């Protein structure tokens, strides 16, 4: 397990109903964390003040929201805004040597704000997932994101990074607009050593799947039939996208015709040539450096 934790703050029945706007993103972030051995922590708030109307102990309002995905038993209760005031949470951090936190939840102007401030004060690494925090007054969210940055927090949007990476990859396919329509494809060579070469992607489906045109007896196809493990890398001075996954050889007519592009006639007479094939790469792991931020994970968990 990594020394990182995803923290979901106060997504309870008594929290602002605006949480409905971000609950799907929070649940995706939970899947992403769970799939990448990142601790998932749930923080509950309880009010002990006399006459309180919300977050009262042993009431439905203090329970975690029913549409929040629960994947761990790391559920800690706090009685103040700052999550670090929970002795159980602080002990969990020490025992698991947590150094970096991804923060989600509510309220952006209260408990999320206090927790971020105090985590940074204690010199922990903090990344606020901007599409996973909300407030009773959503007009203040942008102000709060700027506040988090001013305190040394990183503000990031996981879904936006994946979208940006997908757009970059699409631009580097044979039909894309980028001038250098290629990537590096790495495989295990026939002698057991890793080899890498430049190749043009034919098509892309986000970061999840890429196809390449090749020959049935090409070294790429031979290596794929021997060992399907492969990696793909797109890079420039501004970004780096590394994908790891499986590579398979397709020889069916539909795949060959669908992936044929202008220029392939220099290698094969037409898409029905029996010597022509398609290589399909399916992503399992990704590591992205986009907009000067790094994100890594397992594909399908976000």
Taking only the tens of pLDDT, the chain with its 302 residues reads 689 999 999 999 999 889 999 999 999 899 888 877 899 999 999 998 877 788 999 999 999 999 999 999 999 999 999 999 999 999 999 999 999 999 999 999 999 999 999 999 999 999 999 999 999 999 999 999 999 999 999 998 877 888 889 999 999 998 766 556 789 999 998 788 999 999 999 999 999 999 999 999 999 999 999 999 999 999 988 899 999 999 999 999 999 999 999 999 999 999 999 999 999 999 999 999 888 778 887 765 44
What is residue 257's DSSP assignment? Answer: H
Evaluate whether 4 touches 35 at the Cβ level (below 8 Å).
no
| pLDDT at position 51 | 76
Domains of the chain as residue ranges with CATH: 4-156 (3.40.50.850), 163-298 (2.30.110.10)
Q: Can you say whether the dihedral through the CA atoms of 200, 205, 260, 275 is positive or negative? A: positive
| pLDDT at position 198 | 95
Secondary structure (3-state) at 141 = helix
| pLDDT at position 300 | 54
Q: Which residue, 182, 140, 131, is CA-closest to 161?
A: 131
């Amino acid at each position: 397990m990594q020394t990182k934790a995803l923290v979901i703050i106060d997504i309870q029945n008594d929290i602002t109903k605006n949480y409905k706007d971000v609950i799907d993103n929070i649940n995706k972030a939970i899947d992403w964390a769970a799939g990448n051995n990142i601790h998932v922590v749930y923080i509950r708030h309880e009010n002990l003040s006399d006459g309180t109307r919300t977050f009262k102990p042993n009431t439905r309002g203090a329970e975690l929201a029913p549409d929040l995905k629960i994947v761990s038993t790391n559920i800690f209760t706090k009685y103040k805004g700052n999550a670090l005031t929970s002795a159980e949470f602080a002990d969990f951090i020490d025992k698991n040597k947590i150094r970096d936190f991804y923060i989600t939840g509510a309220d952006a102007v209260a408990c999320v704000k206090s927790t971020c401030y105090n985590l940074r004060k204690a010199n922990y690494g903090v990344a606020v997932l901007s599409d996973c925090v909300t407030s009773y007054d959503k007009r203040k969210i942008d102000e709060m994101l700027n506040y988090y940055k001013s305190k040394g927090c990183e503000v990031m949007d996981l879904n936006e990074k994946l979208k940006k990476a997908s757009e970059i990859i699409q631009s580097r396919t044979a039909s894309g607009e980028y001038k250098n329509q290629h990537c590096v494809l790495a495989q295990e060579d026939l002698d057991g050593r890793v080899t890498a070469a430049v190749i043009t992607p034919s098509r892309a489906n986000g970061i999840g799947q890429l196809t390449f045109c090749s020959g049935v007896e090409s070294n790429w196809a031979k290596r794929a039939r021997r060992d399907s493990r492969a990696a793909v890398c797109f890079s420039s001075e501004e970004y780096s996208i590394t994908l790891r996954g499986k590579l398979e050889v397709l020889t069916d007519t539909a795949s060959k015709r669908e992936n044929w592009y202008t220029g392939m006639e220099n290698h094969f007479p037409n898409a029905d040539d029996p010597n022509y094939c398609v290589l399909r790469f399916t992503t399992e792991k990704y590591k992205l450096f986009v907009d000067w931020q790094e994100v890594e994970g397992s594909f399908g968990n976000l």
